[in-house]
Structure 1
Amino acid sequence: MREAGVTLATLGVFSWARLQPGPGTWDFDWLDRLLDLLAAHGIAADLATATASPPAWLVRAHPEILPVTADGVRLEFGSRQHYCPSSPAYREAAVRLARRIAERYAGHPALALWHIHNEYGDHVTECFCAASAADFRRWLRERHGTVEELNRAWGTAFWAQRYGSFDEIEPPRAAPGPVNPTQTLDWRRFCSDALLACYRAEKAVLDEAAPGTPVTTNFMSMFKPLDYWTWAAEEDLVSDDAYPDPADPRAQVNAALHYDLMRSLGQGRPWLLMEQAPSAVSWRPVNVPKRPGLQRLWSLQALARGADGVLYFQWRASVAGAEKYHSALLPHRGTASRGWRETVRFGAELARLAPVAGTRTTAEVGILLDWDSWWALELDDHPSARMRWRTLLDPWYAALYARGVTADFVRPGARLDGYRVLLAPNLYLLRREHSAQLARWVADGGHLVCGGFSGVVDENDHVHPGGAPGPLRELLGIAVDEWWPVPDGATVGVRLPGGEARAALWSEWLEPADADPVAVYTDGELRGLPAVTRRGRAWYVGCHLGERIGDVLDPVLDEADVRPVLAGLPDGAEATLRRGPDAAYLFVLNHGDGAVEVPLPEGTDLLTGRPVHGAVRLPARDAAVVRVPPPGP
Structure 2
Amino acid sequence: MTSPFRASADTPADPLDALAERLGGIAYGGDYNPEQWPSEVWQQDVRLMREAGVNLVTLGVFSWSRLEPRPGVHDWDLLDTVLDLLHENGIAVDLATPTAAPPPWFTRAHPASLPQNASGTRLAHGSRQAFCPSSPDYARAADAVVTALAQRYATHPAVVLWHVHNEWGNHNALCYCDTSAAAFRDWLRRRYTTLDRVNDVWGTDFWGQRYGDWEEIGPPRETTAFRNPGLELDYRRFSSDALLDRHRAESALLRDLAPGIPLTTNLLGTLEKKVDGHAFARHCDIVSVDHYLVAADPGNHVDLALNADLARGMAGGRPWLLMEHSTSAVNWQPVNVPKAPGEMRRNSLTHLARGADGILFFQWRQSRAGAEKWHSAMLPHGGTDTRTWAEVTALGAELASLAEVRGTRVRADVALLFDWHAWWALELDARPSERLRHLDTVRDWYGALWDLGITCDLVAPDADLTPYRAVVAPSLYLVSDSDADALHTFVRGGGHAVFGPFSGAVDAHDRVRTGGHPGAFRDLLGLVVDEYLPLREGESALLSDGSRAGLWTERIEARGCTARLRFADGPDGGPARGGPAATRHSYGAGAAWYAGAALPARSLRDLLDAVCREAGAAPAAAVPAGVEAVRRSAGDRAYLFLVNHTDQEATVPLEGHTRLDGTALPGGASVPPGGVVVLREQAAPGREADRR
TM tier, shorter chain? Answer: over 0.9
Off by >4 Å, runs of 4+ in structure 1: none
SS of structure 2 residue aligned to 1:334: coil
- The correspondence for 1:596, drawn from 650, 662, 665, is 650
Q: Residue 520 of structure 1 aligns with which residue?
A: 566
**Equivalent position to 1:550, from 590, 605, 614:** 605
1:275 matched to 2:324? The reply is yes
Which amino acid in structure 1 is aligned with residue 522 of structure 2? Answer: R
Q: Deviations over 1:588-622 (max 9, x none)?
A: 1111122211223333323x664334312222221
Residue 158 (str. 1) matches residue 206 (str. 2): yes
What residue in structure 1 maps to residue 337 of structure 2? 288
SS at match of 2:576: coil
2-structure distance, mates of 1:632, 1:302: 26
Which structure ranks higher in relative contact order (CA pairs < 8 Å, sequence separation ≥ 6)?
2
What is the aligned-residue RMSD (CA, Å)? 1.2
Separation in structure 2 between the aligned mates of residue 282 and residue 524 of structure 1, nearest angstrom: 44
Higher mean C-alpha displacement, 257-266 vs 361-370: 361-370
Alpha-carbon distance in structure 2 between the residues aligned to 1:448 and 1:244 = 30
SS in structure 2 of the partner of residue 120 of structure 1? coil
Contact 2:204 2:210 in 1 (8 A): yes
Residues 65 and 89 of structure 1 are in contact (CA less than 8 Å); yes or no, is this contact kept in structure 2? Answer: yes
1:47 to 69, 89, 95: 95
1:353-372 correspondence to structure 2 within 5 Å: 353-372=402-421
Deviations 1:388-418 (A, max 9, x none): 1111111111111111110012322321112
Q: Deviation per CA, 1:410-432: give whole Å up to 9, x if none.
A: 32232111211111112111222
Alignment counterpart, residue 230 of structure 1, candidates 273, 276, 279: 279
> Any unmatched runs of 5+ in structure 2?
1-48, 687-692
Alignment of 1:64-103 (within 5 A): 64-103=112-151
Give the secondary structure class of the aligned counterpart of 2:547: strand
For 1:57 and 1:244, the matched residues in 2 are separated by 36
Tell me the equivalent position of 1:182: 230
Letter in 1 for 2:563: P
- The offset of 1:525, in angstroms, is 2.9
| One-letter code aligned to 2:419 | D
Name the stretch that deviates more: 370-379 or 9-18: 370-379
Task: Report SS of the residue matched to 1:492.
Answer: strand
Secondary structure at 1:225 match in 2: coil
Conserved? CA contact 2:533–2:575, under 8 Å? no
Contact 2:320 2:355 in 1 (8 A): yes
Which secondary structure state, in structure 2, belongs to the residue aligned with residue 439 of structure 1?
helix
Q: CA contact under 8 A between 2:506 and 2:512: conserved in structure 1?
A: yes
Rounded Cα–Cα distance in structure 2 between residues aligned with 1:370 and 1:318: 36
User: Which of 262, 266, 291 lines up with 2:315 in the alignment?
Assistant: 266
AA matched with 2:465: L
Q: Pairwise mapping of residues 41-440 of structure 1 onto structure 2 (< 5 A)?
A: 41-222=89-270, 223-440=272-489
Q: How many residues align?
A: 628
Note the C-alpha offset of 1:260: 0.1
Any idea what SS the aligned residue of 1:525 has? helix
Note the C-alpha offset of 1:82.
0.6
SS of the aligned residue for 1:203 comes to helix
Letter in 2 for 1:593: D
How far is 1:531 from its partner? 1.2
- State which of 535, 555, 558 in structure 1 corresponds to 2:585: 535
Question: SS of the residue aligned with 2:652?
Answer: strand
The letter of the residue matching 2:614 is E
| Shift in Å, 1:284 | 0.9
What is the distance in 2 between the residues matched to 1:58 and 1:525? 59
Quick one: structure 1 residues 247 and 506, their matched pair in 2 at CA, closer, same or farther if it must change by over 3 Å?
closer
What is the letter of the counterpart of residue 612 of structure 2? L
Q: Is the 8 A contact 2:452 2:609 kept in 1?
A: no
Distance 2:419 2:72 in 1: 45
CA contact (8 A) 2:263 2:284 kept: yes
User: Which residue pairs with 1:480 in the alignment?
Assistant: 529
Residue number among 623, 627, 633 corresponding to 2:680 in the alignment: 627
CA distance in 1, matches of 2:400, 2:681: 19
Distance 2:78 2:516 in 1: 63
Spell out, residue by residue over 1:523-577, the C-alpha distance to the aligned partner (whole angstroms, 9 max, x if none). Answer: 223211111121121111100013130111122111112111101x112211100
Matches of 1:544 and 1:78 in 2, distance apart?
A: 43
- Separation of aligned partners in 2, 1:90 and 1:405: 46
Letter of the aligned partner of 1:632 in structure 2?
P
Q: CA deviation at 1:485?
A: 0.3
- Contact 2:236/2:424 (<8 A) preserved: yes
What's 2:557 paired with? 511
What do the CA deviations read for 1:424-478 (whole angstroms, capped 9, x no partner)?
A: 1121112222222212211211111111111111111111121311131111111
Cα deviation code 1:249-272 (max 9, x no counterpart): 211100000000000101001000
- Cα shift readout 1:292-324 (whole Å, capped 9, x = no counterpart): 111111000000000001001111111100111
Equivalent residue number for residue 548 of structure 2: 502
Match of 1:575 among 607, 611, 629: 629
CA contact (8 A) 2:474 2:501 kept: yes
Residue type matched to 2:401 in 1?
A: R
| In structure 2, C-alpha distance between the alignment counterparts of 1:133 and 1:483, rounded to whole Å | 36
Q: By how many angstroms is 1:521 displaced?
A: 0.9
Question: Contact 1:600–1:613 (CA<8 Å) still a contact in 2?
Answer: no
Q: Which TM-score applies when normalising by structure 2? A: 0.89
Write the letter of the residue equivalent to 2:315: G
Contact kept, 8 Å, 1:602 with 1:614, in 2: the verdict is no
**Distance in 2 between residues matched to 1:453 and 1:175, nearest whole Å:** 28
Show CA shifts across 1:351-399 (max 9, x none). Answer: 1111111110011111112222111111110111111111111111111
1:552-567 → structure 2 map (5 Å cutoff): 552-567=607-622
Aligned residue for 2:552, secondary structure, equals coil
For residues 125 and 330 of structure 1, what CA distance do their matches in structure 2 show? 32
Q: 1:490 to 1:82 in 2, by over 3 A?
A: same
- Out of 614, 618, 621, the position equivalent to 2:667 is 614
User: What does the per-residue CA deviation read over 1:35-88, in whole Å, with 9 as the maximum and x for residues that have no partner?
Assistant: 111111111100001110100000000001111000011111111111100001
2:513 pairs with 1:464: yes
TM-score when scaled to structure 1?
Answer: 0.98
Q: 1:609 to 1:322 in 2, by over 3 A?
A: farther
CA distance in 2 between partners of 1:413 and 1:55 (Å):
39
- Return the alpha-carbon distance in structure 2 between the equivalents of residues 429 and 246 of structure 1: 32
Corresponding letter in the other structure for 2:595 = V
1:124 partner letter: N
Q: Is contact 2:269-2:277 (8 Å) kept?
A: no
CA contact 1:442–1:538 (8 Å) conserved in 2? yes
Find out whether 1:605 has 2:654 as its counterpart: no
Mean CA deviation greater in 621-630 or 113-122: 621-630
In 2: Cα distance, 1:611 partner to 1:345 partner: 24
SS of the aligned residue for 1:632 comes to coil
Indicate if the aligned counterparts of 1:54 and 1:81 stay in contact, CA closer than 8 A: yes
Kept in 1, the 8 Å contact 2:565–2:581? The answer is: yes
SS at match of 1:482: strand
Q: Determine if contact 2:170/2:274 at 8 Å carries over to the other structure.
A: no
Q: Is the 8 A contact 1:601 1:613 kept in 2?
A: no
Amino acid at match of 2:555: W
